[in-house]
Amino acid sequence: MAPRPPSAVSTPLDTLSYAAPSRIRAFLCPVGLISRPRFLDFVSRLQDTSIIRLGDVTPDPRPERVMFSPQGLPDGFVVYNFVTAVDNRHVFLEDLELYRRTFAVFGLADYSNIGNLTDLQVVIGALQAQHPQALIHKVILFDCPLDQNQLPSVDFICVPPKRASRIASVRTTLCDLTSALLAELPLLAKAYQTTDTIASPLARDDDYDSITLAPVPGVQSRSSPSPAGSTGSLPSTINKDNRISHPLSHHTERQRMRRKGRSMKIIANMYLLAGRAFDALREYSEALNVLKGVNDHLWHASCLEGIGICMVILAYIGVPFVIPGAVLPPDSSSPERREPEPPQLLDLLPQMTSTILSLYNRSQNFPGESVPQITYAETILRMTNLLTCTTLAGGWTAAARAAAVLSRPIPETSIPYSEFHHAKINVMNWIAAAQIVRLDGVDAVDAARILTGIAAACGKLGYIRKRGFVLRQLVTELIPRILQARQVAQNKWSQVPRSDDDGYWDDSEGASVQQQELDSSVLAVLSDICDVYGIPVDSTSEVSSFGWQNIKTSILKTCIGLCQVLPDYVGIVQYTSMLFRFSGGDLSVDEQLALIRNFRNAHTSARSLGAQGFEHEYWDSYFVRDIAVVESSLWAMPTLVPLETTANRTDAGGPFIYNPFAKKGDEEANKYILVLGEPVEFKVILQNPFAFELEIATMSLVGTDAAFSSDVISLAVPPRKLAPISIYLTPMSTGVLNVTGCKFQVFGCKETTLPVTPTAAIVTPPARIKSFGLEARISSIIKIPSPSSVKQVSVEVVPELPVLRVNRISLPQCSLMLLEGERRRFAITLGNVSETVSANTISVSFSDSTTKSLSAALEEQFRNDSERYEIELFLRKRAALRCITDLNEFSIPSNGEADIEVEVLGKRGLTAGRIEISYSHIIDSDVLLEEKYVRTLTVDINFTVNASIEVAGCDLVPFSYDMPMIHTSDGQVTTTDILLKFLDRVGIPFEEMDSYCLMLLDLRNSWPSQLSVELGSRVGDNDIHTIKEVIQPGHLSRLLVPIRRISDVDTSLPIPSLLPPKQFSRQSTRSMPGNASSTKSGVWSAEVERKVFWYREELLRLLDGRWSDNVAETDGLRRGAVELRGLRISPQMVDIVRMGNVGVDLSLSSSEHTRRSGKYHWVVEADSFFTLAASVTSHSTAGLVSGILRIQPTLTNLPVSTALDINRRILFNGTLQMPVVGIESGDARRIETDFVLLARGEYEFVASFEDTTTGIGGRRYLCREKLVITCN
Amino acid sequence: MSFYLAIIGTKDNAVYELEFGTYRQGGDGKPKFSADMKQLCPFIVHSSLDIVEEMQWNTSVMHLKVIDKFYNYLISSYITAGNIKFLLLHETRADDVIRQFFTDLYDLYVKTLMSPFYSVDQPITSAVFDQRVRMLAKKYL
């Protein structure tokens, strides 16, 4: 069945308007072949012309038919109430309220579809048989070009085509029909006049069950607040059993009068229908008097109503009339002919209605004569309608009258507010009265009519919420009735009783299709209700903070309930979606489960019926809680590194090394780089706050900017869970890729795209309230999820990069055992998995387990500079791992393999090492780029480093000529002999013994097998003295190492740092004067520390130690370096190893009086002349050296006071202090002094040289050996 | 006798709801609404808002007295300066007592509004407020 185009039907007249009882009911039915739109078009054409002026109607010439002749009131009019459905439910009311009777039956035929007109003759007969109560039965042939005379029968009426005839032609046709109808009316009137009895509606109706006007018993307990102050007694209930029919056979006078009055009232009714309101008024007045006399309350009241309608119509036409005295209030009961003044009539009518209602109430006391509920309710509603018209029109104006009589729209008028308000309050009283009418005895259609009437009145007055309330009441009234009706129908259809649920879904096919057209209007009503209560119906991405949450939930449940009983599957789907959207959190678990079951069933049914595109978007806007890139071990994430390692770092950061306003580290950390064409896993966190499982048919990622393809997956989200799922995404173009959210389709919902919302939107309350009440509906709509809470995952897509894997490592289980100082090599075989690109830029970096502890040690503040240097050296220079392969030309082709060789050094504390291989693919055109994207492959290797040879201790001993005797086993051997042997062995000439010193080095073998140690000491420029020794396991061995003394070390230089300089470097703080803690670090002063440091460095340069393992052949030859940095040097040792810039030496010239007993030991005779030769040798490289030479003779083995008393013992020729000027580097200056020893004894001579090159107070140099002279 | 009190915000939203009964005439303070009526109360009160909105421009007082009725239930209303509506569903007319009740309720409401943690139109969840309203109800109704 085609859906009805809404514009095809013009609005029919308001059936609850005040003058509705003056309209003639005409039934329109389709005849012959006629399409639905055509039929509706004809109906609307007729409805457009439903008002026929009596002046246009030709009177019937027959004399017996003049009773209702249109000539009686040419200004009057007949109004047709065209209906397209037969309503037989109110047949019992037709006597009391004649307008409910169908007077005319018009078959509407489309001439263009009719072949043979004579066939239609049968139709007339059928219509007459079906509607015997109608007075005329005609077939109207639309678009018929024929003339009336050409038609076979007078029962056919012709309407020319639309373009040939305008409204006038339809009107002419209707005038003719009216004429025929008015001619038939007298026959009916006669029939009523002659009939024996005219019964009240409830007196003869068997189907009409107990009626009651009483309000809900629980609600209404005392007097019913009748409008306008009428206090009628409680309407009673009449049961079927208690019904008493009047003894019709017993014609008393009272009965006769009652019959007469009633027939008069019916005649008056006919006059009213025929448009002759004036005559009707007269007839009504007469009937009123009769009926009042016999206490026929029901008919009396109905009569009064007729009078009211007549007066309103006459007032509309503008015919002067007399208000019947019977209806006037008692105090002004003098009837006089006058133009009714508008306010008077307006006041009078509500009073009359009050009277009518009280009469109706009174009629309840007479069984069988009581008022039907529908009549009672409609009376109130008609009054309400009239008052609404006058309220809106601002009084008893022409517009108000036109609206009341002909349902004309009221033009907008400006009415003083308070007046308007009071009028409205007045109407509200009537509406309240109408609301009280109990509806449980009324059938569904009537209940709907009453409630929609109330709702319409509320709506017209602008009481939108009240209208919503009434409409909701309507819906709740309808649900059980429809359900009941459906069950009855179903039981008739199949006698087998079924459970509600099964049947509910089984027989849906036929029912639903029939209901399809109903749905649109029902759903419109529902959406209207929803709108009032603040539920945005159309929008799916918005919620309104407007409204009352409980009410919203309740309303939506009611809507679902109505859709279920209809059943309207689309509606169920729609409203269930909305219920979950707006109040998902308020529903209990059972409710949710029931709702979702219904929802799924309804969706399936709607689909099977062929409904399309009715689904809503998924209801939970916060469905996608988070999206994140999963860092995969399979596909390493590339990182961006500058291509030039020497890039200027300061450029980027400005003048500040640390800028607190710079980007936070987090953002940097969250930046991901994807590679073109490589699938990447994304983790999506979905929430399901509901108690049921969500079935997601399809789900994929959506994003902007760079193109990508997302996997489409289907899944189920378990109830009440935050479920992490993973989706793969493959970038298809380079650039920035923003993943904004997910596109998914939940079962029963349409495909929805939702952004990522980690947190719910925070609704900030407005600073000022700008609107309230219903006006706030628009302003309080919130877009969800609010843009501020939406998250995006931004990733950068870069061109294709190779993917490397470690294929092999030439180490068993990636682990290696080393001895300290040992170097080993191993190879890592890398394979390129990529099909297309080669890895042509590879760099390797290393880190190991020592790095961390060393770095931590560096951070400690108490370290002095030399210790710090030591740590830095181990950190930077003594790298545990080193790449051997030249990586400059290294490249791994796609699907190829290559080896990288790595050398490892056994270093104390090394337990694990990490090799980071960064690789990339750079094509030549990329050379200009400053940055490149690299991938990093990490290889972890475990090491075990065992101790080998350790330096246990060391000491430095100078070579001294003055050595004690040592007794050996074979007799007396002087030390000098041993020394000479030693010197001979190490190749140092005895004379140059001064330039050397001896290092005693204790080495321990901590390895459980013997190791041979080879220690080299650079004694000359090209001469390296080597000492070899095999040390047994666990043994300590002392090696004697000749060391060439070191001269010319600039100890004024600061201790260097191997780390890149910092802004506030250690050195600058150290050199700051006055900072006690920094200048005096540790035990030594800074000067001493520097001296020790530089001499140690120099010493270490001279030494070189290696060990090797000859024994363990199976494990290959182990060899390694002895870690000599374990040497500890004291300042005293420095003095030994240092060779001064200036050497001072004393000797005695030999003569016959002298005998040399050692190098510095002479035996002389007294009173002889000797020559003391002092030689000053400059080793300085700085240039000429000048200074003062001092010679100090003392007596041996005496206290200082007497030791220096040599004045009477030695005679010197010259002074003991003399300047020595301009010694060139490497030169020796010889200064001779003659002296005579006067007394026997032992003397010591010491010489010193004070360097005055740069002024007084320079450095002093002592001679190394004192000269001892024994005088006999 | 049973009462239903609702404080309605500017957006037709319920800020506070309470059902209570009278303590007079031997009442125990418990509401005696039937199940249907219990469900209907918010709807009745809501449907009266139309009239409140209309009446507020017609008068200078805050207490609007009885503004609507539904069967034999009456609805009294009080509108605050900030356009917050107090609506009370009751069964008998008692304008003076209800006026006192509303005035004191307004006092309570304003105190709530002064809380820095409360903003207009938020539901009032304070247990103290609830307790004080119940005390007011006991005192007056």
Q: Residue A788's CB: how many other CB atoms inside 10 A?
A: 9
Residues 20-79 of B with CB under 8 A from A: 34, 36-37, 39, 42-44, 46-51, 53-55, 57-58, 68-73
pLDDT at B113: 92
Closest-CA distance of chain B to residue A440, Å:
15
Test A465 with B47 for CB contact under 8 angstroms: yes
- Is residue A1164 within 8 Å of residue A1170, measured between CB atoms? yes
Q: Model confidence at A500, in pLDDT bands (50, 70, 90)? A: very low
pLDDT at A165: 54
Question: Which 8-state DSSP code applies to residue A404?
Answer: H
Choose the weakest-confidence range: A126-135, A772-781, A944-953.
A772-781
Per-residue pLDDT of A394-446, as tens digits, reads: 888 888 888 888 888 888 877 787 788 888 888 888 888 888 887 777 777 88
Per-residue pLDDT of A699-734, as tens digits, reads: 999 888 888 888 888 989 999 889 999 999 888 888
Q: What is the 3-state secondary structure (H, E, C) of A192-252?
A: HHHCCCCCCHHHHCCCCCCCCCCCCCCCCCCCCCCHHHCCCCCCCCCCCCCCCCCCCCCCC
pLDDT at A657: 66
Q: Which two tokens stand for residue A1037?
A: 């061995």
Query: Quick one: which of A818, A900, A898 has its CA closest to A1115?
Result: A818
- Is residue A1107 within 8 Å of residue A1225, measured between CB atoms? no
Phi, psi of A595 (to 5 degrees): -65, -45
**pTM for this predicted structure:** 0.67
Identity at A1034, one-letter amino acid code: G
Q: What's the rounded mean pLDDT across residues A952-971?
A: 68
Residue A1225 CA to residue A1222 CA, distance in Å, equals 9
Test B12 with A220 for CB contact under 8 angstroms: no
Q: Model confidence at A1022, in pLDDT bands (50, 70, 90)? A: confident
Q: Which residues of A480-491 are buried (b: 16+ CB within 10 A; e: fewer)?
A: ebbbeebbeebe
Q: Residue A94's CB: how many other CB atoms inside 10 A?
A: 16
pLDDT at B5: 95
- A464 at B interface, C-beta within 8 A: yes
A218, A421, A469: residue with CB nearest B34: A218
Any residues with CB less than 8 A from the CB of B105 and at least 6 apart, and which? B5, B7, B78, B86, B133, B136
For A311, the enclosing helix (H) or strand (E) is: helix A297-317
ipTM: 0.94
Per-residue pLDDT of A110-156, as tens digits, reads: 877 776 777 777 888 888 888 888 888 888 888 877 776 777 777 78
The SS3 call for residue A334 is coil
Residues of A within 8 A of B72 (CB-CB) are 219-222, 225
Q: Which residue from B minimizes the CA distance to A221? A: B72
Question: Which 8-state DSSP code applies to residue A791?
Answer: B
Long-range pairs, A666-673, Cβ under 8 A, ≥24: A671/A794, A671/A795, A671/A796, A672/A629, A672/A637, A672/A793, A672/A795, A672/A796, A673/A637, A673/A638, A673/A639, A673/A640, A673/A795, A673/A796, A673/A797, A673/A798, A673/A933
Test B50 with A554 for CB contact under 8 angstroms: no
Question: Which 8-state DSSP code applies to residue A22?
Answer: G
With 90 as the cut, is the pLDDT of residue A790 above it?
no
Q: What's the rounded mean pLDDT across residues A337-359?
A: 75
With 50 as the cut, is the pLDDT of residue A201 above it?
yes
With 60 as the cut, is the pLDDT of residue A364 above it?
yes
Test A534 with B12 for CB contact under 8 angstroms: yes
With 70 as the cut, is the pLDDT of residue A631 above it?
yes
Query: Quick one: which of A1249, A1051, A1245 has its CA closest to A1138?
Result: A1051
Per-residue pLDDT of A544-562, as tens digits, reads: 778 888 888 888 888 888 8
The SS3 call for residue A527 is helix
- Which residue would you say has higher pLDDT here, A772 or B49? B49
With 60 as the cut, is the pLDDT of residue B107 above it?
yes
Q: What residue spans of A922-1003 are helical by DSSP H?
A: 975-986
The SS3 call for residue A275 is coil
- Which residue would you say has higher pLDDT here, A1025 or B49? B49
Test A534 with B11 for CB contact under 8 angstroms: yes
In a mutagenesis test of the A interface, which of B7, B12, B54, B113 is the best target, namely the one with the most A β-carbons within 10 Å? B12
pLDDT at A213: 41
Q: Which residues of A392-420 are buried (b: 16+ CB within 10 A; e: fewer)?
A: bbbebbebbbbbbbbbbebeeeebeeeeb
Test A417 with B58 for CB contact under 8 angstroms: yes
With 70 as the cut, is the pLDDT of residue A1066 above it?
no
Long-range pairs, A1099-1102, Cβ under 8 A, ≥24: A1099/A1043, A1099/A1046, A1099/A1127, A1099/A1129, A1099/A1137, A1100/A1124, A1100/A1125, A1100/A1127, A1101/A1018, A1102/A1017, A1102/A1018, A1102/A1043, A1102/A1044, A1102/A1046
In a mutagenesis test of the B interface, which of A461, A475, A548 is the best target, namely the one with the most B β-carbons within 10 Å? A548
Q: Residue A1257's CB: how many other CB atoms inside 10 A?
A: 9
A436, A533, A765: residue with CB nearest B121: A765
Choose the weakest-confidence range: A246-255, A890-899, A1250-1259.
A246-255
Query: Quick one: which of A930, A711, A895, A934 has its CA closest to A805?
Result: A895
Q: Report strand pairing: A680-688 vs A713-717.
A: unpaired
- Is residue A949 within 8 Å of residue A821, measured between CB atoms? yes
Per-residue pLDDT of B112-133, as tens digits, reads: 999 998 988 889 999 999 999 9
pLDDT at A1261: 82
Residue A153 CA to residue A169 CA, distance in Å, equals 19
Question: Which 8-state DSSP code applies to residue A875?
Answer: I
Q: What's the rounded mean pLDDT across residues A1248-1255?
A: 82
Residue A455 CA to residue A453 CA, distance in Å, equals 5
Q: Give Rg (Cα) of chain A.
A: 61
Closest-CA distance of chain B to residue A468, Å:
8
pLDDT at A862: 61
pLDDT at A6: 37
pLDDT at B129: 95
A417, A466, A769: residue with CB nearest B47: A466
Q: Report strand pairing: A639-642 vs A1210-1213.
A: unpaired
pLDDT at A226: 38
Locus of tokens 């304070």 = B126
Closest-CA distance of chain A to residue B18, Å:
13
The whole-chain average pLDDT of chain A stands at 78
Q: Residue A1253's CB: how many other CB atoms inside 10 A?
A: 19
Helical axes A342-363 vs A373-393, angle rounded to 10°: 160
For B20, the enclosing helix (H) or strand (E) is: strand B14-21
Identity at A1025, one-letter amino acid code: H
pLDDT at A215: 38
With 70 as the cut, is the pLDDT of residue A180 above it?
yes
A220, A546, A774: residue with CB nearest B71: A220
Residue A1067 CA to residue A1059 CA, distance in Å, equals 12
Return the number of CB contacts < 8 Å for A and B. Answer: 109
Test B119 with A765 for CB contact under 8 angstroms: yes
Q: What's the rounded mean pLDDT across residues A1057-1070?
A: 58
- A466 at B interface, C-beta within 8 A: yes
- Which residue would you say has higher pLDDT here, A473 or A438? A473
Residues of A within 8 A of B14 (CB-CB) are 548-550
Residue A819 CA to residue A449 CA, distance in Å, equals 103
